[in-house]
Structures are given as structure tokens and as C-alpha cells.
A and B are shown apart, each in its own frame.
Chain A
Amino acid sequence: MGWKMWALKKSPWVFHVNTGACNNCDIEILELLTPRFDVERFGIRLVGTPRHADALVVTGVVTRQAAPRLKEVYRQTPKPCVVFAIGACACSMGIFKEGYHVAGPVDKVIREEDPNAIILYIPGCPPKPEAMILGVVKALSLL
């Protein structure tokens, strides 16, 4: 596993990217970061720039305009990093599957940029904050 991954699991700093979501998942993520759920216990902190981030929390189906920008944000994040795809749209395009404006689900767009990216899925529409915490903790213990 290496000490880098161990340290990353102990202190994952999170940057939030919205690639065309309806904002429902964004509201739930915002609630997650409030004092009520206290994710600082796990060392999770919201940072303002992708350069400080370890985990990209991506919501929304990736629209055609957002795709190159999402890849740019992924490039700006220092490796090693993980990507969390939050919500039904980010995991598998959800109800926008036949849409003309979508470039694909999050994992397809990120793997075009980096085939070895570590992507973790948290489905739901929107996932409750408790479900997100469970997903993040389970996912980090699998790494």
C-alpha cells in the first residue's frame, strides 16, 4: 500500500467539482461538510483549490462543455489522488443517458485522461449525507 496511500487515507482533502449537476447532490455535499456530520473526525477538509486536494468529489453528468474542464481539473490535482463520483448522474449518466449534451459518465471522461485513475462510486439521487459518509469510509478502507 505504501506510506503515501496510508497518509492519504488518514487525511483526505476534498475539492468539489460540479460538471453539470442539478445541484441536488451539491446541496447534500454542502450539508455533509457542515458541523452536524463532522467529517473532520476523518481528517476530511474542504479545500479551495484542486492543487491542495486528494479527493475530487464530482457531481453531475459530464456535459460536453464540462468534459475538457473536468480533465483539466484532474490534471491540476497532484497525484496520488482519488475521484469520487457522487450521485446517479455521475456514476452512470442516470436519466440523461440518451441526452445529446452529455459526454459520458465521470469514469469514462476521467479514464480518457488517465486510464489508471482510482474512481469510487456513491450512487443515489441524491445520496443522503449518511450514505456518503458510509461510502467514503468503506471506499477508503478498500484502498
Chain B
Amino acid sequence: MGLYILAFLIFPGFLFSTAVGLLSSWVDRKVSARVQWRVGPPVGQPLFDVLKLLGKETIVPENANRAVFLAAPLAGFAAAMIVSTILWLANLFAVSFVGDLIVVVYLLVIPSLSVMIGGFASGNPLATTGANREMKLILAYELPFIVCLAAVIVKSDLGIQLTAIAARPAVLSISGLLGFLVCLLCVQAKLGYPPFDVAEAETEIMGGVYIEYSGVPLAVFKLMQAIMLATLPVFLATVFLGGLHFNGWGILWSILKYLLVIVLVILIKNTNPRLRIDQALRFFWRYLTPVGILAVVLAIAGRAWGITWL
């Protein structure tokens, strides 16, 4: 029991995930800078941002619902920490239980929900607009996300345990590849990156959901975003690319898998403008969901006729 608390707080939990998250956030900013022919910030920049935010005063607006406004970042951060702990424990120490895939998918929604609830509790019409858009975006991307996970579950002989799914890399088959691409775009929306950053549109609605946040709550939101940036590629690597193993040459492969997902996310981020919310909804429901359904059908066909590459 004490070992699990230690795991939650230090090793794959709070300190480790935060460190990996801030480092990934720096990788994102540096690669974006180089793609734009710039130099970019130094390594410690995301850490300096968080430290600076911890030193500013926290202002709660008069019209805001004080309790929800201050509790929303903590709820999202806690969910992100738990997800990170579960995923790293499953990858490093094969600590897994039946149904933990469902727990992880459920917990991965909570950071976006907390951002949305914080926006609604801010008492600012621009924050409400941003939270409204975030709500529609969650509805949009959760559907193809779950459909592609269904394809992966079918491919791994209907097992819903993370270690069982990680044992067979789904991306080596057509349905797994389609599922990986669809889930990559859903992860882009989950992270709130362009082209799906319509909820935190900086220039359009002045910061959207985060407009009234300052000081410590904003620092907690930034940490939550950093942990999500570190956790979602690990999730994709576990479910589609065969997991991260740290023995021998596996260390190199694992780092390459993680970097592949992160670099794809960053490149999509830097080459696309922002979509409107109705364009995003149409993209996810009309174009990506049929691809996901095709992946499920191919997976079921492949399993029924024993063809592993379908």
C-alpha cells in the first residue's frame, strides 16, 4: 500500500510525470521554433513558467463560482496524475488489471471536462463561449476515439487489459494503422493543439476557457497540460505501437516510439490553422468516424477469417 502511494507521488506519479511533461513541453516549443526558423526557448523554460505562475497572486472574479473555479484545476490535475501512474506502471512493471483500459479512457476525459467546468464557472461570457466550444469538441472527438479503441480490443482477442493489448502491436495491421491515425488526430484535439485549439483561441476570445485564471490555479492547469502531453503519447504507444519496454535495446525503441508520436503531434500543430467548431465537429463525425468503423469491420473480418494483417 505504501509502495503504491510512493509510486503515485514520486516515481511514475507526480514528480516523474511532471518532469517528463515539462521536458516534452520544451521539446514541443523547441521543435516548433526550429520549424519556424527561430532559436526557441532554453531547456528550463516550461519550469520557469510554472514557477513564475506560482508566485503571482490568485484573483477570483466577483461573478465566478469560487469553489468550482478553484477546484476545477485540481480535479483535472489529479486525474492526469492517476492516468500517468497507471500507464507507466503498466509499461514498466506490468502492473495491470482487467478493465484498466476502460479506467484509463474514462480518466483521460476528466482533464478536458475540468477545463470546461472551470470555464463555465468563471463568470465571463468569453470563458463561457470557450467552455461551450470545448464541450462540443469533447463530444466530437470522443466518438472516433472509442470506436478505434474498439478495433484494437477486437484485434487483441477481446482483452481489455493494457498489458494484453500491448503484447500485440496493432499498428502492424491495416485496421490498427487506420485506428492509430484516427486516434492521433483525436489526441491532437484532446491536447488542445491547433488545428483543434478552438477552446483556447488566444487571439479570438482572449484566452477562452483560461481567461480569468491567474497565479496558482493557472500553474496547476499548465502542469495538467504538461502531464497530458507526456501521457497521451505513452497511451498511444501502449495501445497501438506495442508498449514501452525498458530492457536492453527496448530502451531505444521505446524512446523512438514516444518521440515519433510527439513529433507527429508537433508537426500537425505547426502546419495547420485553427478550425471552427462546426468544421471540427464535421471532421470528427462525418469523416473520421466512418474510418474508425471501417477499422472495426476490418478487425472483425480479420479475426473471423484468421488473417492477421487485416
Contacts and interface: CB of A to CB of B under 8 A. Distances in A.
B49 A11 contact: yes
Interface string A36-47: 001011010011
Nearest to A4: B55
Contact of B207 (A11, A40, A47, A78): A47
A41 B58 CA distance: 27
A35 interface: yes
A79 B48 contact: no
Contacts of B214: 51-52, 78
A3 B55 contact: yes
Given A47-B207, A48-B203, A48-B207, A10 B40 contact: no
B49 A40 contact: no
Interface stretch (B31-39, B90-98, B273-281): B31-39
A79 B59 CA distance: 10
- The B interface is mostly helix, strand or loop, or mixed, namely loop
Interface of A: 3-4, 7-8, 10-11, 35, 38, 40-41, 43, 46-49, 51-52, 54, 76, 78-80
A52 B56 CA distance: 9
30 contacts: A3-B51, A4-B55, A7-B52, A7-B54, A7-B55, A8-B52, A10-B44, A10-B52, A38-B38, A38-B40, A40-B33, A40-B38, A40-B40, A41-B39, A43-B41, A43-B45, A43-B49, A48-B203, A49-B206, A49-B207, A49-B211, A51-B59, A51-B213, A51-B218, A52-B210, A76-B59, A78-B214, A78-B215, A79-B57, A80-B55
B45 A11 contact: yes
Contacts of B45: 10-11, 43
B157 interface: no
A55 to B, nearest CB: 11
A79 B58 CA distance: 9
Contacts of B57: 78-79
A4 B55 CA distance: 5
Contacts of A52: 207, 210, 213-214, 218
Contacts of B36: 35
A118 B5 CA distance: 45
Contacts of A76: 59
B257 interface: no
A17 B33 CA distance: 26
Contacts of B202: 46-48
Interface in B195-217: 202-203, 205-207, 210-215
Given A48-B202, A48-B211, A40 B41 contact: yes
A57 to B, nearest CB: 16
A35 B48 contact: no
B40 A41 contact: yes
A76 B51 CA distance: 20
Contact of B212 (A10, A41, A51): A51
Contacts of A8: 52, 55
Contacts of A4: 52, 55-56
B51 A79 contact: no
B29 interface: yes
B51 A78 contact: no
A35 B37 contact: yes
B200 to A, nearest CB: 9
Contacts of A43: 41, 45, 48-49
Contacts of B55: 3-4, 7-8, 80
A134 to B, nearest CB: 17
A38 B215 CA distance: 26
A78 B55 CA distance: 10
A48 to B, nearest CB: 4
Contacts of A47: 202, 207
A51 B205 CA distance: 14
Contact of B48 (A7, A48, A78): A7
Given A4-B56, A48-B202, A78-B58, 5 more contacts: A7-B48, A43-B41, A43-B49, A78-B57, A79-B57
